[in-house]
Amino acid sequence: MKIKSIRTRVLRWSGKTVAPQANFCTNASDALFERGDSMGSFRFHEWLICEVETDNGIVGIGNAALAPTITKQIIDTYLAPLVIGEDPFDNEYLWQKMYRRTHAWGRKGVGMVAISAIDIAIWDIMGKATGKPVFKLLGGRTKEQIPVYASKLYGQSIDALAKEAQSYVDQGFDMVKMRFGWGPKDGPAGMRKNLDLVKTVREVIGPDRDLMLECYMGWNLEYTKRMLPKLAEFEPRWLEEPVIADDLAGYAELNNMNIVPISGGEHEFTNFGFKTLLDMNALSVIQYDTNRVGGITAAQKINALAEAYQVPVIPHAGQMHNYHLTMANLNCPISEFFPVFDVEVGNELFYYVFKGDPVPKNGFIDLDDDLPGLGLEIAEDALGEFEIIE
Ligand SMILES: O=C(O)[C@H](O)[C@H](O)[C@@H](O)CO
Ligand SMILES: [Mg+2]
């Protein structure tokens, strides 16, 4: 079997979007003096689809959400010529070929995102060719079902936040992740508002459900050190991305304070990136995203490394490319789930592009043992609300 062609499309959402409210979510741009739309860099309103076709007609589907138009160019210009004509079952060789041929500029960021999209498609091909779901090629079923946490609860009024949190309890979720609305530039008043948000959600979900807290790189080391003792009383399962991805020492200092477990990794790349973080004891939970980190080939290597350190892996994003890894690894205990809403930040866009993502029931999702590949189809009949850049 050989790879015959690669087709990339960028889908630009032109349908209804919900504008984020003020103080919707802290993020790395908050450190800039102009508030403006600090969420500007934080939209996922485009998605890249990467279809890899073999000479016997099997089509594997990969995807990417970061910088889709650039990722498309990287695949079309640099990566497709490297893998066309090759055997998709040589996935390790193909990953190394893409990684080493673009090493000068592609080992992190959009270069690795592009490699991820092709690698995910290759694993979809291997599943379809063998008649096995991808997780059965990675280690098989390690769970009856996958527990999922409802991940939204962006900054909003206290009443609205409580109502949204209650809706997840009513749907049977035992774990929720919320976002902060304020950070270092908002001073003590912002700290109090952040703590009010956490207090509200903790009161709604009660003491026996997991509460996770998301900063999305919007805080810094000094502010987080002041916040951690104030957050401890709410017993969060983790505090996520308190500092920017390059502040490895900050991650390590915060995690080694052992006040609240620190999580991160959705903006880190390859097993080398995570070896450094693990050696520094910088994370208590690893959260790579398979469509960024290097695809399934890279993610599975990180899973093995993390297991040796006994650091759990809970990939960013409730999407199929992550669910298969979670199902196949004992050290991946739960998955994230983005509730389906109107398009806001864009995490929800995945459900508009693809068909097949499992729907949670009572706080769990499951995968089909008999559905080959990733189990996704492109929702071609629903792409009318997208501008398609081919
Ligand atoms: O952990 C997450 O879900 C991500 O950081 C989100 O995609 C981002 O929207 C911040 O909430
Ligand atoms: Mg996150």
306 φ/ψ sector (left φ>0, alpha ψ -120 to 50, else beta): alpha
Ligand 1 center to residue 212 CA distance, Å? 12
What per-residue confidence (pLDDT) applies to 38?
Answer: 64
What per-residue confidence (pLDDT) applies to 364?
Answer: 98
> Mean of the pLDDT values across residues 27-55?
84
User: Catalytic: 267?
Assistant: no
Ligand 1 center to residue 176 CA distance, Å? 13
336: pLDDT confidence band, cut at 50, 70 and 90?
A: very high
What per-residue confidence (pLDDT) applies to 40?
Answer: 65
What per-residue confidence (pLDDT) applies to 142?
Answer: 98
Share of the chain above pLDDT 70, in %: 98
Topology at the third CATH level for domain 136-378:
TIM Barrel (3.20.20)
Alpha-carbon torsion angle 319, 224, 20, 37, nearest 10: -120
Parallel, antiparallel or unpaired: strands 175-179 and 377-378: unpaired
Domain 3-131 has CATH 3.40.50.2300: no
Q: Is the pLDDT of residue 41 over 70?
A: no
Tell me if 214 CB under 6 Å of ligand 1: yes
> Mean of the pLDDT values across residues 132-160?
97
Tell me if 347 CB under 6 Å of ligand 1: yes
- Label residue 269 exposed, middle or buried (CB < 10 Å: 0-12, 13-18, 19+): buried
Tell me if 25 CB under 6 Å of ligand 1: yes
345: pLDDT confidence band, cut at 50, 70 and 90?
A: confident
Nearest CA owner, ligand 1 atom 10: 216
φ, ψ for residue 208, nearest 5 deg = -105, 15
Rounded to two decimals, what is the model's pTM?
0.97
Question: For the segment 175-218, what is each residue's pLDDT rounded down to a tens digit?
Answer: 999 999 999 999 999 999 999 999 999 999 999 999 999 999 99
Q: At what angle do helices 270-279 and 248-255 cross, to 10 degrees?
A: 40
Q: Which atom of ligand 1 is nearest to the CA of 240?
A: 1
**Ranges of each domain in the chain:** 3-131, 136-378
Tell me if 292 CB under 6 Å of ligand 1: no
161: pLDDT confidence band, cut at 50, 70 and 90?
A: very high
Q: Which atom of ligand 1 is nearest to the CA of 345?
A: 9
Query: Count of CB atoms within 10 A of residue 307's CB?
Result: 15
Ligand 1 center to residue 49 CA distance, Å? 20
Q: Is the pLDDT of residue 43 over 90?
A: no
Question: For the segment 253-276, what is each residue's pLDDT rounded down to a tens digit?
Answer: 999 999 999 999 999 999 999 999
> Mean of the pLDDT values across residues 123-144?
98
289: pLDDT confidence band, cut at 50, 70 and 90?
A: very high
Tell me if 153 CB under 6 Å of ligand 1: no
Ligand 1 pocket test, candidate residues 219, 288, 347, most atoms within 8 A of CB: 347
39: pLDDT confidence band, cut at 50, 70 and 90?
A: low
Q: Is the pLDDT of residue 346 over 90?
A: no
Ligand 1 center to residue 148 CA distance, Å? 15
Share of the chain above pLDDT 90, in %: 90
Tell me if 334 CB under 6 Å of ligand 1: no
Question: For the segment 66-102, what is each residue's pLDDT rounded down to a tens digit?
Answer: 999 999 999 999 999 999 999 999 999 999 999 999 9
> Mean of the pLDDT values across residues 316-339?
97
What per-residue confidence (pLDDT) applies to 382?
Answer: 87
Q: Largest Cα–Cα distance of the chain, in whole Å?
A: 63
What per-residue confidence (pLDDT) applies to 7?
Answer: 98
Q: Is the pLDDT of residue 37 over 90?
A: no
Catalytic-role residue among 45, 267, 316, 324 = 316
What per-residue confidence (pLDDT) applies to 331?
Answer: 98
Ligand 1 center to residue 369 CA distance, Å? 29
Instruction: Report how far residue 298's alpha carbon sits from residue 296's, in angstroms, rounded to the nearest whole number.
Output: 5
Ligand 2 center to residue 151 CA distance, Å? 9
Between the alpha carbon of residue 230 and those of residues 224, 261, 374, the distances in Å are 10, 14, 42
Return the ligand number nearest the Cα of 42: 1
Tell me if 266 CB under 6 Å of ligand 1: yes
Q: Which atom of ligand 1 is nearest to the CA of 151?
A: 3
* ipTM of the complex, rounded to two decimals: 0.97
Tell me if 151 CB under 6 Å of ligand 1: yes
Mean pLDDT (the chain, rounded): 96
35: pLDDT confidence band, cut at 50, 70 and 90?
A: low
Ligand 1 pocket test, candidate residues 26, 216, 345, most atoms within 8 A of CB: 216
168: pLDDT confidence band, cut at 50, 70 and 90?
A: very high
> Mean of the pLDDT values across residues 230-256?
98
Nearest CA owner, ligand 1 atom 8: 216
What per-residue confidence (pLDDT) applies to 18?
Answer: 86
Least confident range from 9-13, 225-229, 340-344: namely 340-344
